[in-house]
Every structure is written in structure tokens, then in C-alpha cells.
Chain A
Amino acid sequence: GENVEQHPSTLSVQEGDSAVIKCTYSDSASNYFPWYKQELGKRPQLIIDIRSNVGEKKDQRIAVTLNKTAKHFSLHITETQPEDSAVYFCAATPTADSWGKLQFGAGTQVVVTP
């Protein structure tokens, strides 16, 4: 089955700096890679996703890159703000018999200090 590893587990950045979270996956058949943000005490919510036919996707201050050959994908947050403080989860969905199941990474706690 799919295995997703996520690094780092915690990330502390100064407001205005960039943050990068990296994930690797094991199943070469995986073709969908969403990122979820979970604020303290709240539910996870999708912030951006990428499909395997695309190498990069941007949405304002966040971007995701995908390297299918190396089987890794990354989340980039530029000009970080205090409201970016949260736990971020990467995930992957294999195609075969997946039923939409998401395999999540362990999460990255991002702390943005003013």
C-alpha cells in the first residue's frame, strides 16, 4: 500500500519568510496529492491539490510542486503570516482500488512568529 512520509515535523519561521514542507510517497500509481491545513481545534481543510499530470500549481501565497520521478511533492508558503500557523498534512491517493482513500503524512506543525 501507499506510504507517505512528511518532513519536517515542526517548522518555526519568522513572519514574512518562506516555509517549505516536503513529502515523499511510495506508490508510483498515486496521481492525486492534496494538502490540508488544520488550525488548532478545527477540522482539516483542503488548501491546494495537484494531479500527476502537472508539475506545479500556485494559489496566491501557496504553491505545490510535484516530482513524479523522485516521488516527492512539496508545499511552499511565501510571505508567511501569523494566520498560517497550523498543522499541515500532505496526502496521496493511489489509483487502483483506492476508493478515494487518502494516505496522509504525519503532519507538520508550522509556527509563524511575528
Chain B
Amino acid sequence: DAGITQSPRYKITETGRQVTLMCHQTWSHSYMFWYRQDLGHGLRLIYYSAAADITDKGEVPDGYVVSRSKTENFPLTLESATRSQTSVYFCASSVQVLNTEAFFGQGTRLTVV
């Protein structure tokens, strides 16, 4: 009963490095999302996906890349990490496109030094 899991839970990386955050869900939910959480900003959408090979930008996509080759996985890549990308990242999934609960992973705390 894993549900939705993220890895790693904690990551420290240097400015300019590429880093990938992993998200895996076992429910076969069609819709998956990446949010970042920063104090005073709540949860802001980075990217979302409606199905395998279908992704689109959210509110704050700059500096991030996503892919979704399989329904269950939705990795988020920071191509060249910057200090402003220090944040807590949450992956989420939902079974339908509208008006249904989003289930969140446990989060990844990323620090860029």
C-alpha cells in the first residue's frame, strides 16, 4: 500500500548541478502534479500531466523539466539548480481531471547551496 512516494526525502545540491526528484504512484491515477511549497506562497504548481506523454506547464515552470513515459512515474528535473529553487517539493495525483481529491506524496526538501 505504497500510494504515492517521492524520493529522495532530502537533497542538498550545488548551484548549477542537475538534480532529479522522483515520484511514483501505485494507483494508476491519470493526473499527476508537481508543486513547490515556500513560506508565504502556499503551494504553487510547477508542471502537471494528464496521462503518459501528456504534460503542460503550471504557474512556475521556469528552470524545471518533466517527463512521463509511464503512468506511474512523474520525475521532475532541475536542469541547472539555483538557490531560488530551494524549497519543499510535493508530487500529487488524482483519479479524475476535475473536482476530486489530490493525494500528495510526503515531499522532498531540496536545498541548493
Contact = CB atoms under 8 A, between A and B. Distances in A.
Contacts, number: 62
Contacts of B41: 106
A100 interface: yes
Interface residues of A, number: 26
B90 interface: yes
Interface string A86-98: 0001000101001
Nearest to B96: A100
Contacts of B42: 6, 89, 104-107
Main secondary structure of the interface of A (DSSP, over half): loop
A104 B44 contact: yes
A26 interface: no
Interface string B72-109: 00000000000000000010001011111110111100
The list of the 8 closest CB pairs from A to B, nearest first, reads A32-B99, A43-B104, A104-B42, A104-B43, A106-B42, A100-B97, A46-B101, A107-B42
Interface of B: 31, 33, 35, 40-45, 48, 50, 56, 58-59, 90, 94, 96-102, 104-107
9 contacts: A32-B99, A34-B101, A44-B90, A99-B50, A101-B33, A102-B102, A103-B45, A105-B42, A106-B40
